[in-house]
Structure 1
């Protein structure tokens, strides 16, 4: 193994290691975190691997090298926090290499199968996610936490007070929530659950571990509520569609890099405001839906 090119790894607790791996994801991110959950006291040195956003053979070989370095002889499961390609596109090749089953929440299963269909691996074993898995003596709770996608999960490692949160928190700033996958109300519920939980460390899908979980969740919740107030303030001047609102709210840099994601996030906010009776809408033939107070 060429250690000068080894993947970085960050031990988060006694049983959890974060491994950032380059992946095709949205700016400003350039990596997706893979997590290894292992029990060092088990003779077989088994592990559960959470998320793998790169199918690059070089990255996957370096991940295998890291498993070997850690003395892991058996990966018993490949777990997806959600089905988006920057979290699962490495799973087909890893299953072929490791002979480990893939687990995806049933609400994200069809989306994951569509992602996997683009791989060169055509015989996959993919299962609906169970409520619990274990690594040696360590119990892992698979908590359904929709928001970013309908089948998004949090992986709870209670023995270490660690929770792996996928794309519900970020070590690099904010996250995006948008239809058809995302739903703002359920995302708020997921954040509220994280604020009330016993977690000392959160492992996000992108960026460094978060050492104050309630504060990280509260910060993103406040950011979303601020965005809603921006929308309501802009609509005081009269009805507008989501495209105009997106252009008015986001910077030119964001629009240049991720306009589609910005539009979908605004759509999720508008849906939330409609569901809570704070907005109304009307369909106009030449404009589409416009929203008004």
Structure 2
């Protein structure tokens, strides 16, 4: 995290390349890092907004109580200025990504385009990432579908795993890929069953590795300027976690909290619940492969 400047503040606009700007939402947490990054695409009169972020109740950017995105819609509108928002896109519908789409649409008339709606119970530990039940897109993009505006073209890249409805967005003109929560430089993505699926997540990582994107702009943390190298490392990391799990089960039946303690030594206590969800995702995947089995609350190698 040392390469992320201390000077970045919520509500400020930062230019990353001619067609790409970023506005940081004021919702930092152990799961969102410095906050949700809303990406603005376009340099002319037509702007696409990617991941408008959390919704709020009217506090201003900079207010010390503003920890859930209040004022962020106003910051987006300030950054857009006199240009017209022609598309509001969401990578997925966790509560730190999509709720601001509705108020932004109400203020601008721009359509909500992108991932499919998804509303399920989130039994994981991430209170900031419960699903947004009110998300209502005007158009759902399928894998490979495109939208365009003045000087830009965006293509949907389906990447299920973190959530079943997760999309990345490729900016055709520059080779950039907006990766949402699927690939981030500062942290691995939480894969939390029942909607999170480790098998799908690994397939989506391989899908990105097979592409030739120049740079990744995630929803949290710094840009990734070595995409394929990072993704290769992430695939290796997940395979290492799988080997760790199987190694522990070779010693006997295990419950997930004890596995987390062994596998994530020194982990912040606030993140142990999320780590447990990812361990569960690996176990569910291994169970589908017939390699492990659940006996009560303990997991063991399949007979």
The bucket for the TM-score relative to the shorter chain is: 0.7 to 0.9
Q: Corresponding residue for 1:120? A: none
State how many pairs are aligned: 271
Query: In 2, distance between residues paired with 1:86 and 1:6?
Result: 14
Cα RMSD of the aligned pairs, angstroms, is: 2.5
Tell me by how many angstroms 1:10 deviates: 3.3
Query: In 2, distance between residues paired with 1:226 and 1:146?
Result: 21
Q: Corresponding residue for 1:276? A: 289
Question: Structure 2 residue aligned with 1:173, among 179, 187, 202?
Answer: 187
Judge conservation of contact 2:168–2:177 (CA < 8 Å) in 1: yes
Q: Are residues 201 and 114 of structure 1, via their aligned partners in 2, closer, same or farther at CA, if it must alter by over 3 Å?
A: closer
Tell me by how many angstroms 1:5 deviates: 7.7
Q: Are residues 114 and 31 of structure 1, via their aligned partners in 2, closer, same or farther at CA, if it must alter by over 3 Å?
A: closer
Judge conservation of contact 2:23–2:75 (CA < 8 Å) in 1: no
Q: Corresponding residue for 2:19? A: 15
Tell me by how many angstroms 1:113 deviates: 11
SS of 1:197 mapped into structure 2: coil
Please list the CA deviations of residues 111-166 of structure 1 after superposition, one character each: whole Å capped at 9, or x if unmatched: 6996254xxxxxx8632423221112422111221111101001011211011111
1:241 aligned onto 2:255: yes
Query: In 1, distance between residues paired with 2:136 and 2:292?
Result: 46
Q: Corresponding residue for 1:82? A: 92
Please list the CA deviations of residues 47-99 of structure 1 after superposition, one character each: whole Å capped at 9, or x if unmatched: 1101022324422222211111xx42x11111110010011122222122222
Judge conservation of contact 2:26–2:70 (CA < 8 Å) in 1: no
Greater helix percent: which structure? 1
1:127 aligned onto 2:138: yes
> Deviating runs (4+, > 6 A) in structure 1?
none
Query: In 2, distance between residues paired with 1:113 and 1:268?
Result: 17
Tell me by how many angstroms 1:104 deviates: 4.1
SS of 1:180 mapped into structure 2: coil
Judge conservation of contact 1:25–1:32 (CA < 8 Å) in 2: no
Q: Corresponding residue for 2:154? A: 140
Q: Are residues 5 and 110 of structure 1, via their aligned partners in 2, closer, same or farther at CA, if it must alter by over 3 Å?
A: closer
Query: In 1, distance between residues paired with 2:212 and 2:170?
Result: 10
Judge conservation of contact 2:193–2:277 (CA < 8 Å) in 1: yes
SS of 2:182 mapped into structure 1: coil
Mark the runs of 5 or more structure 1 residues left unpaired by the alignment: 118-123
SS of 1:207 mapped into structure 2: coil
TM-score by length of structure 1 reads: 0.83
Q: Corresponding residue for 1:198? A: 212
Query: In 2, distance between residues paired with 1:9 and 1:171?
Result: 21
Mark the runs of 5 or more structure 2 residues left unpaired by the alignment: 1-7, 56-68, 121-128
Q: Corresponding residue for 2:273? A: 260
